[in-house]
Amino acid sequence: MDSVIEPAPKRVKMEMPLISFVIPAHNASSTIDDCIASICESTYRPLEIAVYNDASTDDTLEKLNAWVPKCKAKDITLHVVEQKKKTPGGAGYAKNRAAEACSGMYFAFLDSDDMVVPERVEIQLKMAKEDPKLIVGANFKRTPEGSTWHYTAWANSLTNEQLVLQQYRECTIIMPTWFMRRERFLAVGCFSEAPEGVTIPEDLIFFLKHLELGGTLAKSEEKLVIYRHSSGSVCSKLPRRILLRTRLASLERRVLSQWTSFTIWGCGRDGKNFFVDLSEEYKKKVTAFCDVNEKKIGTKYYCRETKTQVPIIHFSEAKPPIICCVSMGRTDGELEANIKSLNLVEGVNFWHFN
């Protein structure tokens, strides 16, 4: 009997998903060339870039238009999104307009003054494929070197578990490293857009909402973004109190609403601001402040706004659950050792808020 040889199966060429870089730009003339040039060196294809020119008054638009044919020569489509307002709409508005011009399955976010390393997309895409509700971030290199060193060291040292556990300190993944499915971006509801003349932390609002809606976080340990420091950036103009209230609103909804009472660790400026900005319902749940300052222990904190007196006790007497309003990494390990001595479980009966 003759043997039957089955024909070899046809090889199906797997199409790679289109990745869209989403970039807002306002008066970015001095940095936009470096930004786009770095994307053009990416090892991944297919790629597209969408840049919204947010009412720039310099030659940002001219430089962007000059990049259209240069990007095409690199097999990348550059969408220069037409300005839709005469005055700047703000970061959230600009990012949303850029995103609307994109058709990729995945979005890679970047600011117009930052740059990427060639392997960024390949590395983050591989991670993002594992979970449709994932925001993938990355470590970053700060330039000029040494600027905001404390923040950079903290952000780059976080484990994937700490990305969630320290979410109320600030964004544990910086926005210029965000990489996610387009569907996830739309499910969260895009970025909040501020009224004219108002600055809001649109990335922090999105980040916390993503987590509230069951989103997950992961980060590449490789430094995939060159994150430029600028003293005049939008982030630097945000008042600390606005950031506090944004984080606090989420904390109240997701954590404090589950507790019948709690202690505030730290009776300094940050702890007091935290208490003052609490909703009335949650002020009533505060049983004490705890501290290490002998001059404060045994006294009471009087809140003028609410005419409330709250006792200040030694940290060793504090009863969990606890919200810590003292900055980590600034007491030569004393704070961390004191927290450890109470056998607290971060994310269960203990959260860092500063």
- CATH number of the CATH domain containing 275: 3.40.50
pLDDT in tens, 33-43: 999 999 999 99
Spatial strand order in the sheet of 300-303: 300-303, 308-314, 286-291, 262-265, 322-324, 350-352
What band does 150 get if pLDDT is binned at 50, 70 and 90?
A: confident
pLDDT in tens, 3-34: 455 555 555 457 899 999 999 999 999 999 99
Which residues make Cβ contacts (< 8 Å) with residue 181, sequence separation at least 6?
Answer: 105, 106, 107, 128, 132, 134
Residue whose tokens read 């060793």: 316
Model pTM score: 0.92
* 13 found inside a domain: no
Based on the fold, state whether residues 125 and 181 are members of the same structural domain.
yes
Distance (Å) of CA 183 to CA 42, 110, 127, 131, 304: 23, 18, 16, 12, 47
Residue that terminates a domain, selected from 196, 215, 237: 237
Based on the fold, state whether residues 162 and 282 are members of the same structural domain.
no
Based on the fold, state whether residues 90 and 154 are members of the same structural domain.
yes
Token duo for residue 20: 């869209």
Total domain count, the chain: 2
Based on the fold, state whether residues 143 and 33 are members of the same structural domain.
yes
* 191 found inside a domain: yes
* 204 found inside a domain: yes
Based on the fold, state whether residues 285 and 219 are members of the same structural domain.
no
Q: How large a percentage of the chain has pLDDT more than 70?
A: 94
* Domain containing residue 253: 240-352
**Cα–Cα distance measured from residue 274 to residue 278, given in angstroms and rounded to the nearest whole number:** 6
Based on the fold, state whether residues 136 and 196 are members of the same structural domain.
yes
Based on the fold, state whether residues 81 and 140 are members of the same structural domain.
yes
* 12 found inside a domain: no
Q: Is a pLDDT exceeding 50 seen at residue 161?
A: yes
What letter represents residue 67's amino acid?
A: W
Based on the fold, state whether residues 202 and 299 are members of the same structural domain.
no
pLDDT in tens, 78-131: 999 988 888 999 999 999 999 999 999 999 999 999 999 999 999 999 999 999
The mean of the pLDDT values for the chain is: 93
Spatial strand order in the sheet of 106-109: 76-81, 47-53, 19-25, 106-109, 179-181, 134-143, 216-228, 115-116
Check residue 221 and give its pLDDT.
Answer: 98
Token duo for residue 293: 């300052």
